[in-house]
Structure 1
Amino acid sequence: MSRITCECGHVNPEGTVLCEACGKPFEENQHLNDNKPEQLLNMRYDGSARRSQTYQRTFVDKVWNFFSSVKIGVSIIILLVVASAVGTIFPQEMYLPPGSDPTTHYEEQYGMLGQIYYQLGFHNLYSSWWYLLIIAMLGVSIVIASIDRFIPLYKTLRKQKPKRHVNFMKKQRIFGETINENIDYSKLRKNLRSKRYKLFEEDGHLLAEKNRFSRWGPYVNHIGLILVLLGSMLRFVPAMYMDEFLWIREGETKEIAGTEGKYYIENEDFILETYDANDENNSQFQESLQNQANPVPENYQTNAVIYKRTDLPIVPGKEPELEKVKDAEARVNHPIQLENGISLYQASYQLNEFQSMTFKLHDKGNEDTNYGEFTVDLTEPKDEYTLDDGTVVRLDRYYPEFELDDGVPTQVSKFPRNPAFIFEVQRPGEEPEVSFAGIGVNIDATGENDYKVGLVDFGVRDVTGLTVKRDYTLPFIAFGAAIFMIGVIQGMYWNHRRIWIQPKETGVWVAGHTNKNWFALKKDIDQTLEDTGIEPPVDQQEEKDKRERGKDDGISTD
């Protein structure tokens, strides 16, 4: 790449706006208009040469330039926000009712929009490959944009010199010229040090600087964001993050996901407590509670027992040998804690799920007759049941959640919410008969049956829904968020201020620059120049604005 040699002899990289040594503006890069001498310098990144504005030849250069653009970064953020918002329109797959088939659920519940939602992959948005790709692109954009700006700015600020070019001084926003040969430089240095400025001198030229560290605030922000994004992406590594849902019925014992078969949980009892609308202690909510169609839960919890498997390693097909570890309770925001960072959160529940159903066999036209009863365990139904008189009732088909579709029985889910059965009844010495029985349903398909299977009783139980979580990514995210806030504070509450003092034969020039808060810089300069014989400089941008306003109002500024 070609280089730019300044009149001071310093060789600058191509694309440099201000000479790294003396600060002379390179007009072809500064885009200044010679007919407008009042035009101020472009001090962005202190005039350093950025790679994205210099190298534009190879494919790598084009990729680098694309991701270093702030507009591209903002566009990626907007795309990520929009995608995340769309992902909340309908429930994610993990929150669908147990047993639901996502391939049909979204279309059945939400119509065409639901089907499009599913087909585009929004049902599993946060683990989809394209969502991860957008996050990765945002991370790449932040890294490249930071490197593209930080390195040249750091090099420029590290080797800045007090002695600056004439045009550098004149075209600063804060600039003043004093004609006075009796300047008290010792008083000036004392005042600057009292304001906590760090002084640099070269041939009588003076540079006062403070709060340079504030310039790195945005880059500290970027480091924090990178760590947060890294933590978010680590959530898709099974060893780092787990979020499973466990439905467990009262009296049931199940393996806890993520423990490799080491831990089991038994649901001893599910408790639901609701607010009493007539309770005087709830007087402030009484009207709201009375307007509710259904009782409002006050507390729901799972009383559980945690077991540890003792016959490890696991032998396939062998019943586990369990040892009780502890009694535990899972309540909302009060999870059950296990080792390996696993927590079981109370997340949902279902009341009065069917557990068993008892039937009797009687004459079709006379319900008072009773040839025997049998009970079907809806969790593990038997293939056949033998009554006292030798009648065999075979379970031909079982529909846990029954629904008729054009007159044909279909199964909606595998959970017993509306059970129905097809029984084959074989009386001793008689031809078998087929009956269809359920809650409120009893159909003789042929119309020629002599017997009928009738529902006598049923048993119910509650089901609790627990979220099983393990999250090792939180330290990354929390650390990244802390660093991000440090960067915010660093860049928000401090600002980089510089004052150049340049002695002349008849007096002195003063120039100042800051990355923000010009009023505070002007106030600093005015206070440090008190009793030194140097006149306060002016804010050239403010003076220019006054002239422009005067022209608009038709007021002469002569």
Structure 2
Amino acid sequence: MGQSELDRIKCTCGHVNPPGTTICEACGRPLDEKSGLLNMRYEGMARRSQVAARTPIDYIWRFFASVKVAIWMIAIALIASIIGTLLPQEQFKQSSLPAEIYYPQTYGWFGEVYYRLGFHQLFYSWWFITLLLMIGISLVICSIDRAVPLYKALQKKRIPKSDQFLRRQRLFLEVTGDNETWERLHQAFQKKRYHVATDGQASLFEKGRISRWGPYINHVGLILLILAFMLRLIPGFYLDDYVWLWDGQTRAVPGTPYYVKSEGLKIDFYTETDFPDPSAFVPNHVKSYQTDLVLYKKEGDDLVEIARGPTMVNHPFEYEGLYLYQSGEQAGQLKGLKLDVFDKQTGKTLGQITLDLYDPPLQVDVGGGTTVSVLEYYPELQMKDGKPYSETTQPNRPAFILEIKGPSVPQGEKNWVIAGIDSDQLIPDARFKYKLVDFVLSNRSGLSVRIDHAIPYIYAASFIVIIGLILGFYFQHRRVWLMRMENSILIAAHTNKNWFGLKRELMQALQAARINVDPEHIEHRRKTA
């Protein structure tokens, strides 16, 4: 005989109960020798997590079935989420700087610590996703550990045959009465919409049983909610990215087969006519930001237009589940430099070149067979050990190494172009000089790129959670037991919440049955066994 068989509990009625049972499944007699109130949370049924652990699976089950463990994991996830929202996540930073430079440069030592600890990508970090999975596992095991015994207990209406079951309820009284009193009590509870079941000398009145399933429906909804969020990890199911577009620029939309072109950023300002009171008008107050977009799809080597339209703040451009939000704007930004190529020997200008500071061309045609090539580019020039390098990708101090070739210089000539420094100071003997003529200014739009096919599933799971909350908060499972003794009637009642309402309902039924009882004598607040 196995140890589990030895742990089974035999009741005086002869029924053998599983280990951990506190109330006999057959007769309802308490299986302990205590005198406190019965613990009716799971109707005295055995729970696996309460049985002594013997195998590694038992220990794992007990760990995840613990509500305290679940609360700690949820608390850790909440605290981490709060920290993760103190600074923008990497995909939401409105800067082209790498994360290792952006956070320390923008937020100082706190940004450095924030980046080093990995909070800049918190919601996609392995440990945060693992924590969410553990919370999901805990929800599943907690639900199974409690729902299975509850289902077994509620599957059959328990009409106890032991008077000790009634005497150890929180609401209990014993009254003298005959058959007429017995019938009047039945009629009184039936009028209050209780369902009645009778077995010999005992009766059960019950209503609101569905409320017991509210927390478990809520758990199912939460599990489905976690799974819905996990769907976002499937490639193509979820996309949250950011892209900057200059006016007139066409770029690939990250993570999609599409290309998007900006036809111009429009900034609308409030005018005096927009204010009922002209004195409240403030100049240069922005009314709206809008970028006109054209969406393309590549077919072979050609881009084919498939949609066009504006994107505004809170009014995204949408195409088949792809959303482009107006999330950033930079008006009148320095985009390039216009330079005259001057030949110092002839004293003539050969032509003009334009150097893009964000995407420099490899070669520019000056005219007359002469070309200028960009050999190297440093957006923010710095020197270290006599070697040039760029501190960031932002053109804060742009510098170029250019090479000019043509009929007059077949061997080519290299020269530096550094913002704010005359090229003659760098290489005085150079034949060609590059003179700054003008700046190229342009507007730039920041677009948030969103695809989220998990939204319908998130809404469905949230709806299930709401149903569970409604059942759990606004409905009560109420039961009243009657048992005939020789010269008296035992009356006991139990509810999973709102004891005041049940006590009031019990008193009304007693009055309808012409039984006068002091309300103070009904409720017993002994310690739960």
Q: TM-score, normalised by structure 2?
A: 0.88
> Relative to 1, partners in 2 of residues 1:41 and 1:540: Cα closer, same or farther, differing over 3 Å?
farther
AA paired with 1:397?
A: E
Distance 1:17 1:283 in 2: 76
Are 1:423 and 2:402 counterparts?
yes
Aligned length: 516
Contact 2:380 2:393 in 1 (8 A): no
Mapping of residues 243-282 of structure 1, within 5 Å = 243-259=240-256, 261=257, 263-276=258-271, 281=275
Partners of 1:68 and 1:239 in 2: CA distance: 35
Contact 1:223 1:484 in 2 (8 A): yes
Would the aligned equivalents of 1:511 and 1:537 in 2 still touch at CA under 8 Å? no
Q: Decide which of 142, 145, 168 is 2:142's aligned counterpart.
A: 145
Alignment correspondent of 2:204: 207
Alignment of structure 1 residues 350-369 onto 2, 5 Å: 350-362=330-342
Q: Distance in 2 between matches of 1:195 and 1:429?
A: 106
- CA shift for structure 1 position 96: 2.9
One-letter code of the match for 1:242? L
- Which among 184, 188, 193 is matched to residue 191 of structure 1? 188
Q: Is residue 504 from structure 1 mapped to residue 485 from structure 2 by the alignment?
A: yes
Question: Aligned to 1:453, what secondary structure does the other structure show?
Answer: strand
Distance 1:4 1:296, change over 3 A: farther
Q: Secondary structure of 2:422's match?
A: strand
| C-alpha separation in 2, matches of 1:285 and 1:56 | 77
CA contact (8 A) 2:94 2:446 kept: no
Residues 424 and 433, structure 1, Cα contact 8 Å, conserved in 2: yes
| Kept in 2: contact 1:439–1:455 (CA 8 A) | no
Q: For 2:303 and 2:412, locate their aligned partners in 1 and report how far apart those are by CA, in whole Å.
A: 45
Q: Is 2:238–2:450's contact at 8 Å kept on the other side of the alignment?
A: yes
Tell me which amino acid in the other structure corresponds to 1:471. Answer: D
1:371-424 per-residue CA deviation (whole Å, 9 max, x = no partner) reads 333222413524355466x8765533223x324356965434546565432334
Match of 1:297 in 2: 286
What's the secondary structure of 1:441's corresponding residue? coil
State the distance in 1 between where 2:168 and 2:279 align: 67
Relative to 1, partners in 2 of residues 1:418 and 1:298: Cα closer, same or farther, differing over 3 Å? farther
Map of 1:518 onto structure 2: 499
Query: What one-letter code is carried by the residue in structure 1 that aligns with 2:400?
Result: F
Contact 1:392–1:426 (8 Å) recurs in 2: yes
Decide whether aligned partners of structure 1 residues 149 and 392 sit closer, same or farther in structure 2, where only a CA change above 3 A counts. Answer: closer
Distance 2:227 2:208 in 1: 30
Equivalent residue number for residue 461 of structure 1: 442
Q: Is the 8 A contact 2:173 2:521 kept in 1?
A: no
Q: Is the 8 A contact 1:402 1:409 kept in 2?
A: no
Is 2:31 aligned against 1:14? no
Question: For the Cα contact (< 8 Å) 1:174–1:511, is it kept in 2?
Answer: yes
Aligned residue for 1:78, secondary structure, equals helix
- Which of the residues 338, 342, 354 maps onto 1:376? 354
- Report the residue type matching 1:521 in the other structure: L
- Normalised by the length of structure 1, the TM-score is 0.84
8 Å contact kept, 1:359–1:455: yes
Secondary structure of 1:530's counterpart equals helix
Could you tell me whether the CA contact under 8 Å between 1:248 and 1:254 is conserved in 2?
yes
Distance (whole Å) between structure 1 residues aligned to residue 285 and residue 22 of structure 2: 67
- Match among 348, 358, 364 for residue 328 of structure 2: 348
CA distance in 1, matches of 2:267, 2:234: 36
The equivalent residue for 2:100 is: 103
1:50 equivalenced with 2:47 (yes/no):
yes
On the 8 A contact 2:353/2:366 being kept in 1, the answer is no
SS in 1 for 2:9: strand
- Give the residue type in structure 2 aligned to 1:267: S
Cα deviation digits, residues 472-504 of structure 1 (max 9, x gap): 111111111100010000011111100011112
**What pairs with 1:455-494 in structure 2 (closer than 5 Å)?**
455-494=436-475
Closer, same or farther in 2 for the Cα pair 1:408/1:462, shift >3 Å? Answer: farther
Aligned pairs (5 A) from 1:407-422: 410-414=389-393, 419-422=398-401
- 1:285 and 1:191 mapped to 2: Cα distance? 73
Q: 1:19 to 1:536 in 2, by over 3 A?
A: farther
Percentage of identical aligned residues? 37
Partner of 1:24: 29
2:382 aligned counterpart, secondary structure: strand
Tell me which moved more, 528-537 or 206-215. Answer: 528-537
Task: Give, as a single letter, the amino acid of the residue that structure 1 aligns with 2:71.
Answer: V
C-alpha separation in 2, matches of 1:135 and 1:275: 46
5+ residue gaps, structure 1: 312-319, 546-558
Larger deviation, residues 211-220 vs 411-420 = 411-420
Task: After TM superposition, give the deviation of residue 9 of structure 1 in Å.
Answer: 2.0
Contact kept, 8 Å, 1:356 with 1:375, in 2: the verdict is no
CA, structure 1 residues 396+161, in 2 after alignment: closer, same or farther (shift >3 Å)? closer
Aligned-residue Cα RMSD (Å) equals 3.1
User: CA deviation digits over 1:266-308, x for unaligned, max 9?
Assistant: 21111122345x5661759948x57xxxx54321111122234
Q: CA deviation at 1:90?
A: 2.4
